Amino acid sequence: MNRRVLKITLVVGLFAVVTVLFASTNTTILKQIKLMNRVLTAIYTDYVDPIDYRKLIKGAIDGMTSTLDPHTVFYTPKQYKELQVDTRGKFGGLGIQIGIRDNWLTVIAPIEGTPAYRAGIQAGDRIIKIEGKSTKGITVEEAVTKLRGEPGTKVTITIQREGEPEPFDVTIVRDIIEIKPVPYYGMTKEGVGYIRLTQFSELAGDEVRKALKDLKSQGAKGIILDLRSNPGGLLSQAVEVAGQFLHKNSLVVFTKGRTIYQSREYYTDFEGEYPEGPLVVLVDGGSASASEIVSGAIQDHDRGLILGQPTFGKGLVQSIRPLDEGTALKITTAKYYIPSGRCIQKEDYLHNPRSAIITDTLNWNPDTLDPWDFSTTPADTDTTEEKEKPVYYTENGRKVYGGGGITPDIEFEPPKLNKLEVDLLRKGLFFEFAVHYLADHKKEFTSPDFEVSDKLVEEFRKFIKEKNFEYKSRIDILLEQIDSVAQEDTITEETRRILDQLKQQMKKEDELDFERSKDFIKREIKRQIVQAIWGEKERYRVVDVPNDPTIQKAISVILDREEYQKYLQPHDDK
């Protein structure tokens, strides 16, 4: 038999198996699978150019999964092996957790201490290109393959950031990524215990328990659990971490799927290390999955206060189905729900006009459908409308809202960085300066509690000038655009003179921007020097914790018991 005919026979045979599976359930499905067989056969045998049947089948599979959620993905043998490497917790990469938002590759959170973190990558950044190639429509798994590589190699990504007028490139050197779940815990000068949890890896629960035990022994007046930019991890560790703050037999989370095997409830099976006492959990848009389970359980049990920004909204449960020849399917099989009954998952993935997901099962009747009408179904027509968020209640009767993610009890947004500060961070200049300066001046630093002098700031300024750092404010960029248009259009000499004066004035403003950012520059210089000489823990102690506005807000709430209790009482409006 001709090899080409043999291959297509095998392919059609594959779909024939599927046909048999569906034959007894629905004649419409049977007809459409036959149609798919015929389209596949026609393309493979009659298309004008030779066809790579592997890509044809892969395209069909990817097409099916693209009508679902971003987390349901088919793995080639190579991709499946990389997934298995992930579970060992060590790999060469950038140090970012990524997801898909509105068909674009989006940073969920940079991982502390990694190359991406040092380069100033932020939660919410869109990675619109990898090595100059667009990422629109890319899957997470495809992106991971492109972003990972040998430690020491470089990759350039193009970032689109809210508030930035134009996309910009960031070149990052890959490194070994190894995550510590609790990189730091300690007492603040006010006597409040602080725990930074960066990921829910295998030892997360145990590390949090040890930290709590130590902080309690030091007489902590309250506890701050920092889950900002924590993208999640193991469900078992989410239950264990939440359990450290709850009493025994407390419901933490439950899952619901289409089968009873996917519907489970998870309770604490021990008395927590810190089940009573003031507690504030810090979250932001980079807090996802397991972070939302923990913060949601604490909020629903009225165990503590959630402070910060609304969380990411990742509450879909995936299972891995190994398939033939080393391939596998990661498929969403359930959703996470927290004790009040709220689902963590945001429903934005349902807004995809190509979605095959039935959102209104009560009014869905496949027997009345036109099998050849592939347009948007009636069940999907209302997905673009803004829906009122459903109301739920905590254990004490406080109103909380569904719709995905966790809305903090106290919404708090720290001051945003200006353009100069963002540019210095994303170019990694503070890190480079610390390495450069310490090569000759390390002996000058005898304690991590040093103050950054004006002289050291001038050294930094000299360094970035030698690095050809060019700073353009947003107004500078806007003026360049106006100037470009003015070159093409006719303007009066008077208008030209005013425009030139404005450009000269902005140069003076750019100089003033450096002075306005002097405190920030001093803090970042100190941060990198302390990190380089004394390590991550001292960096947290002397720089990060004392200078973080969100942490300072949490401390003030804990120390003001009347305010703390007020937030835990039911209100008519949230």
Active site residues: 289, 300, 314
Query: What phi and psi, each to the nearest 5 degrees, are found at residue 282?
Result: -95, 130
25/32 Cα distance (integer angstroms): 13
For 137, residues 6+ apart whose C-beta sits below 8 A from its C-beta are 103
Distance of CA 59 to the CA centre of its chain: 27
For 366, residues 6+ apart whose C-beta sits below 8 A from its C-beta are 26, 28
CA-CA-CA-CA torsion sign (152, 154, 157, 163) = positive
DSSP per-residue letters across 284-309: -TT--THHHHHHHHHHHTT-SEEEES
Cβ(28)–Cβ(7) under 8 Å? no
103/515 Cα distance (integer angstroms): 40
Cβ(169)–Cβ(119) under 8 Å? no
236/233 Cα distance (integer angstroms): 9
Q: What tokens appear for 10 in the block?
A: 């095998």
Query: Residue 452 carries which side chain, given as an amino acid letter?
Result: V
Of 334, 498, 342, the residue nearest 407 (C-alpha): 342
What 318-326 contacts at long range (C-beta under 8 Å, 24+ apart), as own/partner pairs, is: 318/71, 318/72, 319/262, 320/83, 322/80, 325/77, 326/77, 326/80, 326/81
**Helix spans in 128-277 (H):** 140-147, 204-217, 235-243
Cβ(286)–Cβ(109) under 8 Å? yes
